[in-house]
A and B are shown apart, each in its own frame.
Chain A
Amino acid sequence: MDLLRIATAGSVDDGKSTLIGRLLFDSKSLDDDVLAAVEDASRRHHGDYVNLALVTDGLRAEREQGITIDVAYRYFSTETRKFILADTPGHVQYTRNMVTGASTAEVALVIVDARNGVVEQSRRHAVIASLLGIDHIIVCVNKMDLVGYDESVYEAIQAEFAELMAEIGVRDLTTIPMSALHGDNVVEPSANMSWYNSEPLLRLLEQVPVRQGLDDLPLRLPVQYVVRPHRAEHHDYRGYAGSIASGVLRVGQRVSILPSGHESVVTAIEAPWGLVEEASAPDAVTVRIADDLDITRGEMFCAVDDPPQTTQEIEAVVCWMDDRSALRRGDIYRIKHTTRSAKAMVTGINARFSIVSLCGEPDVNSLDLNEIGQVSLKISVPLACDDYRRNRVSGSFILINEATNATVAAGMIGEPQFSFARSER
C-alpha cells in the first residue's frame, strides 16, 4: 500500500463537501456513529435528506456560518493506497489555504458545477495547483444530473479546461463527469453516462503515479540534526540526520556538503528500519561519513556531479499570506529554507501576477494578502538551492515576520511554472 496526497478545491456550492463525504462514505472510511451524527445534524439543519457535506464540517463557527474556514485533512484508503486529502475552502480570500493544501499534494481535484462551467474560481484553483508544481489535475464536472447527464455540456467544459491547461503548463489533465450527490462516477461507475468510457474517480486516484521521477533527480539531503550520543559505546559516533529530498543515497557514494563545500564518502546509512545500503526520498535517515568534518544543521548533502546553486541572491515566486502587513521593498524577514534559517531582505518586487487574467504587472510596490508575485531577495548567508520547478524541497522557503513570528509568505525559487503575459499599466 502506498501513500498519495491530494488537494481539493472548488467554489462554494459546487459540491466539494458532498464529493468528499461520498468518497469517504463509499470507500467505507466513515464510521457509523459519525454517519449517525451527520444524519442527526441533517435533520436539524436542513430537513429530510442526509447531507453528506456535513461529514466534512469542522469547527463550530463553520457549521454556524455554513462556510469552511481552514484546511482540513481527511483520510481514506483502498486495498492498494492510503489517501491524505487536504480539503481547502474555495473562497477568493483563502488563496493562502489553497497554497497550504497544494504545497504537499501530488494531485489536485478541481470541482466545477456542470451548469456554470469554468468560472473564475476554477481557473484560480487550477493555476495555483500548477504554480505549486502539481503535475496531475483532475477536474470533476459535478452535478451532471442537473444538466440531464448531457455529454455535450461535459465536452464543452472539458475543451475549455484543456485550453487553460495548455496555457498554464499542466502535464496531466483528466476530466470526469459526475454526480457527487447520487454517487455517479465517484466510487461506482455511472449508469446514467454510458458515453463516459473511463473509470470513476476513486479508481483513477489509485492509478496516479506517486513521487514520479524523484529518484532520478540529483541527491539532496538537508541536515536536520547532528546525532552525538556522548556514550561510552558510541564514543566517536557522529551521525547526520535528515530526510532525503531527492535522488538516491548509497553507501560508498562521494557527496559534496553545501554550502560549506566539503566532500566526503558515505560510510553508513541508517533508515528508520535499520542499516541499509541505499535510501531514497522521502526516507528519514541518519548518515555517517568517512571524514571528521564540522557539519551543522542547515548544510545539505548533494550529488557531486550535479550540485545545487549556492547563492545569496534569489528570485522567487511568493504568495503573501499575512493579513496584518504587506510585503514591501526593503523589508527584512526571517527565511527558512530546507533546514537553514537566515535573514532575507526584499530587494525588488518585480511583478504581481493576476491568476485570473494570467498577466503580470511589472515593478509593483507591495504584495498584499493572497497576492502572488515575483520578488528578488538578498540572503544573509549563502543558500544551496534549486529551482522549484526541479525540486519542491530545495526550491521552497517560507518567510517569517520577526516581530510577530507569523509565517507571512510561501516562496518558490526561480521563475513561475509558466509565463505570465506582461500587462500594460
Chain B
Amino acid sequence: MTTEIISPHLRPESKHLRDLESESLHIIREVVAEFDRPGLLFSGGKDSAVLLHLALKAVRPAHLPFPIVHIDTGHNFPELLAFRDRTVGRLGLDLVVGSVDDAIASGRILAPAGADISRNRLQTPVLLETILKGRYTAVFGGARRDEERARAKERVYSLRDEFGQWDPRNQRPEVWNLYNGCINPGQHMRVFPISNWTELDVWRYIAEEQIELPEIYYAHERQVFERDGMLMALSSLMQPGHGETVGTRTVRYRTVGDMTSTAAVASEARTPEDVITETLAMRISERGETRADDRSTDAAMEDRKREGYF
C-alpha cells in the first residue's frame, strides 16, 4: 500500500517504465558509489532532462553529489540555454560549461568557415578538454540504444581511452547487473543509464513525472524554411539559400542539437500526451527526421563515437 505518492500520474499500465526507472537508478547509484569524480552531461534536451530527474531520485534526499556539464556549441537554441539556467537555479546545481566559442576564440580549435556549418564535430574536442580539466572519471550521458545502430551495440558502461575513443571491437562483456567500473589512469567511463529506453518510453515518463522541458519540444509558431526536406529555423545562423522560402509554421522539435543541424517537424502537439499520440502514429525515426548530422553516411554515428563523441 502506498502512503505518499510523489509521482501523481503513476499508472499500472506503465509497469515497464517503473522497471526501466529502477534499472537506471541502479546504474546511477553504482557510479556514484564507485567513481570518485562523476559528472552528468546536460544538453538541456529531453533525454538529459530525464537523466537529471533520475539522478536526483537516485540520491534523494541528498543534493546531487556531482556537477552537470554542458558543452555549449555556441549554436544552441536560446530557449535551451534559458531552460538550463532555470533548472540549475531551481535545483541549486553545480554547472560546468565547456564552450566551443571560447575554444575557437583562444585558437585551441579551428572553426570551419561559414556560420551555418554544424558544430557537432567541434563538440568532441571541447568535451574531451572539459572532461580532462574536470578530471571526471565517469560521465553520464542520455544516449539510448534505440536511437541508432552503433548505439545499439554500446555497453551501459562505455570505456573510453585518453582520446575519448570508443573501440567497438574491444568492449567489456556486461553481464547481469554487475558493471565493471575499473579504469586505468587516463581512461574514463561514459555511462548511459537510459540505454534501454525508447523515444516513447522517455515521453511517457515525462508525462507521468511531469518533467519540465524547454518549450520548443511542444508546438509553437516559428519562421522556418525547407532544406533537403527538413524544416530549419530561421536565425542569425541559418538563412534561406537560393530558392528556399521562409514561412511561419506550427512546429516542434523531436531532438534538440545545434540550430544548424536540428530540424523542426510540423506538429500541433502541445502537451506530452499529444506528443505520445503523435509519436505512436509517426513512423520516422527521430534522428532520421531531424538530424542533418546523422544523414551524411550510413555510419556517421559510429565514426563520431569512435572519435570520442558521446
Chain A residues in the interface with B (C-beta under 8 A): 1-3, 28, 30-34, 37, 41, 57-61, 63, 69-75, 77, 81-82, 84, 96-97, 99-100, 103-104, 224-225, 227-231, 234, 237, 239, 241-243, 270, 272-278, 282-284, 286, 297, 321, 334, 336-337, 339, 392-393, 396-398, 400, 405-407, 410
Contacts and interface: CB of A to CB of B under 8 A. Distances in A.
Contact of B288 (A1, A3, A31, A58): A31
Given A32-B284, A277-B1, A410-B173, A2 B25 contact: no
Contacts of B23: 282, 284
B296 interface: no
B147 to A, nearest CB: 11
A224 B55 CA distance: 14
Contacts of B277: none
Given A32-B284, A277-B3, A339-B33, A405 B153 contact: no
Given A59-B168, A100-B175, A227 B61 contact: yes
Contacts of A229: 61-63
Given A241-B59, A283-B18, A284-B23, 14 more contacts: A1-B13, A2-B15, A3-B15, A58-B150, A60-B299, A82-B201, A100-B175, A227-B61, A234-B61, A275-B3, A284-B29, A297-B33, A398-B175, A398-B180
Interface stretch (B4-12, B96-104, B106-114): B4-12
A276 B61 CA distance: 16
A227 B59 contact: yes
Contacts of B288: 31, 33-34, 37
A334 B182 contact: yes
Interface string B63-92: 100000000000000000000000000000
Contacts of B7: 272-274
A299 B276 CA distance: 41
A405 B196 contact: no
Nearest to B288: A33
B146 interface: yes
6 contacts: A31-B284, A59-B168, A84-B196, A103-B175, A229-B61, A277-B3
B150 A231 contact: no
B33 A273 contact: no
Given A75-B145, A272-B25, A407 B172 contact: yes
B62 A231 contact: yes
Interface string B164-177: 00001101111111
A396 B178 contact: yes
Contact of B173 (A234, A272, A284, A321): A321
A276 to B, nearest CB: 5
A225 B29 contact: yes
Interface string B139-176: 00000011001101100000000000000110111111
A405 B61 contact: no
A71 B153 contact: yes
Nearest to B208: A273
Contacts of B150: 58-59
A82 B169 CA distance: 29
Q: List 6 tightest A-B contacts by C-beta distance, closest first.
A: A33-B288, A274-B6, A284-B25, A31-B285, A405-B182, A284-B22
Chain B's interface size range is 35 or more
Contacts of A243: 22, 25-26, 177
A283 B3 CA distance: 17
A1 B16 contact: yes
B21 interface: yes
Contacts of B33: 224-225, 297, 339
Contact of B176 (A3, A69, A72, A392): A392
B182 A272 contact: no
Contacts of B180: 336, 398, 400, 405, 407
A116 to B, nearest CB: 28
Given A3-B19, A59-B302, A75-B198, A99 B175 contact: yes
B266 to A, nearest CB: 16
A66 B6 CA distance: 50
A33 B59 CA distance: 39
Interface string B46-63: 000000000001111111
A247 to B, nearest CB: 15
Contacts of B223: none
Contacts of A69: 153, 168-169
A224 B26 contact: yes
A393 B183 CA distance: 24
B228 interface: no
Nearest to A402: B182
A278 B1 contact: yes
Contacts of B60: 227, 270, 286
A167 B145 CA distance: 37
A108 to B, nearest CB: 15
Contacts of A339: 30, 33
Contact of A274 (B2, B14, B58, B149): B2
B5 A274 contact: yes
Given A225-B32, A392-B176, A73 B196 contact: yes
Nearest to A237: B61
A125 B5 CA distance: 44
Given A99-B173, A398-B175, A406-B172, A58 B22 contact: no
Given A224-B30, A224-B33, A396-B176, A70 B171 contact: yes
B63 A33 contact: no
A276 B60 CA distance: 15
Contacts of B238: none
Nearest to A36: B288
Contacts of A3: 15-16, 19-20
Nearest to B198: A75
